Each structure stands twice: as C-alpha cells, then as structure tokens.
Structure 1
Amino acid sequence: MTAVAVLRLPLDNDLSGFVALLQRLRVPHRVAEEGGEQVLWVPGEALAEQVRELYARYPQGDGGESAPALPPVREGFFSQLRRSPVTALMLLVTFIVFAVTLAGENYAAISWLSFVDFRLDGDNISLNYLDATLESGQWWRLITPMLIHFGWLHLAMNSLWYWELGRRIEFRQGAIGLFGLTLLFGLASNFAQYAWAGPSLFGGLSGVLYGLLGHCWIYQRLAPNAAYRLPPGVLVMMLVWLLICMTGIFELLQFGAIANAAHVGGLLTGCLTGLLGGMLARRSA
C-alpha cells in the first residue's frame, strides 16, 4: 500500500491537536518536514480521502469522542514489505547469510564475515587482531558480523525485533534514515564488543536492535509520535533481558556466550541518536 500525502501545511501550523485525534482513532500516519512544509502521510488513497474530510471538520482535533470513527486499515504482509524496503532487504540479506553459513556451522563462510579473520586448527581457533585484518583491506568486517546468526532461535528472535523496530523507523524517518542507523549501530556494537573482549567470534543483529530500541525510546520522550510509541512493557522487558544476560547466567548454563558489550554499545549509541533526532524534531515542531 503506497503512502499518500494528505496535507501539506506551513511549519507554523499547529498539527498537534489533529495528530492527537488521529492517534485516538488509531489511524496509521506520520508527519515529516519536507521542503519547508510539514506533510501528513497515510497509507492508501482511500484512507487519505477520509483523513482530508476529517481535517476539514476538525482541523484542531476538537472532535474528541464525537469525531466519527474511521474504518480500520489492515495492511497485508506484502503491502508492508513494499512500504518498508530497507527493513525487508536487511532481513533478506540476513536470511541469505544464515543459509550460506549453515545456521552458523559453516566456519569457512563465517571467516569471511567475522569482525576479525580467523583460522581453525582442529578444535582450536586462532583469531587475528583488528589492525592486521584492516591492513589487508577487509573493511567490510566492521559491519558484517551483524549478519551472522548462530542457530534458528538466534535468527528468529533478532529478525522479529528488527521487523518490528525497523518498520517504525523507516516509516517515521525514511529508508535512508533506517539504513544509516543500522550501519551506525552495527559499527558501534561491533567495536564495543571488540574493545571489551578483544579478538573473538561474535555475531547477530542484537546490538543493532538495542540501538533501534534506544533511538525510539529517547526520540519518543523528546518528540512524541505514534510510530515510536512501543507497546507497554516492551522497553522494560528488553532492558531486563539485557541485565539478565550481563549476569553471565547463560555462560554458566553452557548455552553459549552473549555479546553483552555489543548490546550495551548499541543501546548507548541509539540513545544518543534518539537524543539528537528528538531535539531536532522538537525544535522544528
């Protein structure tokens, strides 16, 4: 379903009341600043016509409970894919890497994507240092560990959360915004893990996910918007999970090592970008 521009208004027009009305009516929408105007977008021309009529009657959102309810819009899966191309592309590449690496069992393939190069000698693994890896021109390794996943559960959890958080950011800040944030959080989380643990084998989108979470969290507190309003308990659950992982309980139970520094590095970077983005959005509101 294609996004349609419903309104284009000067920046000094106060849309907060009407946006609050759309939120009460659970109408999917986003407001963006484009070309010196504020533009209200909704998915689909049919809904756009209804929102235009609603704005004509309640431009300040004064309708309150008396405003007519708009019929719910349920997007199909493929419509959501078309509206979230970067989210879909990132997941597609992740799935391809998962297949090529045989769910994290093909170390020959993983050795081309890991943060530092390594070689296996029987049951022993010899890892290079980052400076030696970069001297050989293998700069892609700074990003590619986020594509590696070890096992189906690891892939499923990270994919579901990237689908949920990535679509929100792509809808609010566009495809380029999500792509840039994904690369930034991947880079920050990978460097954080390397700085904390030294040469080691790690991977997954978890660091990026905590970056996206922190971005939505802080951005929403500074510049409230419907896209970044997470379901109740999600933030608390993710932070509690982070703390549980940091206790080392999973290593003790021999479930495998957790890249906690990558999670923390991604979260802190996401909070910083959310702070900057939220401040800019608040200033332009």
Structure 2
Amino acid sequence: MVAVLSISTSCTGSQPGGDTRQSDGDTVAGKAAAAKVLAVLEAFSLCQGEVGVAELARKAGLPKTTTHRMLGFLCDEGFVKTAAGRYELTVKVAGLSSSGTDVEPGVYDRVLPYLTDLHETVKHPVLLVVRAGGVARVVKRVCGSRTAGFATHLGDTLPLHCTAAGKLLLAHAWTQEEQDLELHRYTEFTITDRGRLRREVVSAQASGIAADINEWRLGVTSLAVALRDSGAAPPVVITVVGPSVRFDVRAVAPQLRRLAHHAALGMRDSQLRSVAT
C-alpha cells in the first residue's frame, strides 16, 4: 500500500550515528498508522457500497476521528472517494489486486467493443461488473456524454442483494457467506427478506438474467446477464442501467442476451486463434 511505503521510507531514512531511540519511535508510530489505514480498508469489505464514517469506525474498531483522518489520507491517494458524507472504494483498489475475482485483465479489453455496440443500441450506460468480496465491482463503464453523470453517480461498487449484477453474481455461487449477507435497505423496494432473495437468485440461475427496479436507487433500473458462467470460472457480468422512466426492460432484455452471446463467441474465437498461433 502507498501508506506503508511512505511510512517505511521515513522510518529508514536516519543517518548512521543518529538517535536510535528516535528511529525506533518513528518505526512504532509508522506501524501504528499503517495498521489504522489497513483496518479502515478492511472495514470496507464488511460493508456494502457507500458507507458512513460511524459504521466504518465501528467495523474497524477505531475512534470516529481517527477513521475520518485515515479516510482523508485514502481519499487524497485516490483509493477512496466521498460524496454527501458517504465513502466508497475506487477502482484504484481493484488495480492493486484482482480482489479475489481471478478474472484475467485481458477479458475487459476484449469485451469493450461489444459494450460499445450495446450502448449505441440501447442508449443507456453499460457496465462490466465482477465480484469483489462482499460487493460487485464496476471494472468498465461505457456511456455517452448525456449519461456520463448518471453512470458516474452510481459509483464503482454495487451491493449484491439489490442490483441486477449482484443477484447474478450471487447466483453463480450461493454459499454460507451469502446466507449471512447483510441485507441493507436502500429504498422501500429493497429486498431485505432472505427467503425472497433466495428465490430471486434461483430465478436468475434458471433464466440467466436478473433485474432490479428501484431496489438500490429510486428511479434506477438495471438488467444484467453473465458473459460467461461455469463451475470453475467466476462470471463477468454485463449490466445495462438507466432511469426507470425511460428503461424498457422487455426491449432491452433480448438485446442484452444477444450481445452477451456474441461477445462470448467472439472471445472464444479470439482465444482459439491465440492458441493456434
């Protein structure tokens, strides 16, 4: 992490013959600061989507003032962003590691032309989403100038239980971890009943498509299909999202399915050509 690197540099910069006690004190202080930064980052994995300082402090086991100071550092470094007093991780965190997704980076670039085609057809933002622990993470976003603000406002992470992409990701592997998933209420339409969520997941497994209408954000509808889904490979999900008043689910669904099918075939052909050469 940047925090650890910058701290360790300041701790090892003493000159020969300097005050060893001062150097030891700096090392201890540096380790303590690094531990607090890491505790805040780990707290995000226990939360879903945007989260407030109080909840992060509680999860991290730190005072609110300390948590707020660590968040300020993380925001300055680009690992966290904030709006209206809420915080969330940025895609920069995903760039440090695969976040447990095991999805090869080349997939994102190969599927980008297909996302662009879909956006030009449906005129709504199109997102490429993967699982990252307890949330869904947006790794690619395709939108026009008129919808850029809307797409950006959605953020880089999505909750699993009340978004189309999240439900599809849950459908890939329903484990005990999912049984214990916190079903936070975002709107009056958010699924907070575990039995109902399980039925939604089963439906997504059977149909290969998932939807949410006003469940995560009032006035926002999303539809998602998996680009690929097997017992071994984690799914990469394509999501179309837009204002509910202008989102025709029945019209978008067949186009989304068709696009995912063509994208999967195109990527498979690309891989076969790569092997052949």
TM-score normalised per structure 2: 0.27
Decide which structure has greater strand share: 2
Query: Which protein has the bigger helix share?
Result: 1
TM-score with structure 1 setting the length: 0.26
State the structure with bigger RCO (CA 8 A, min sep 6), 1 or 2: 1
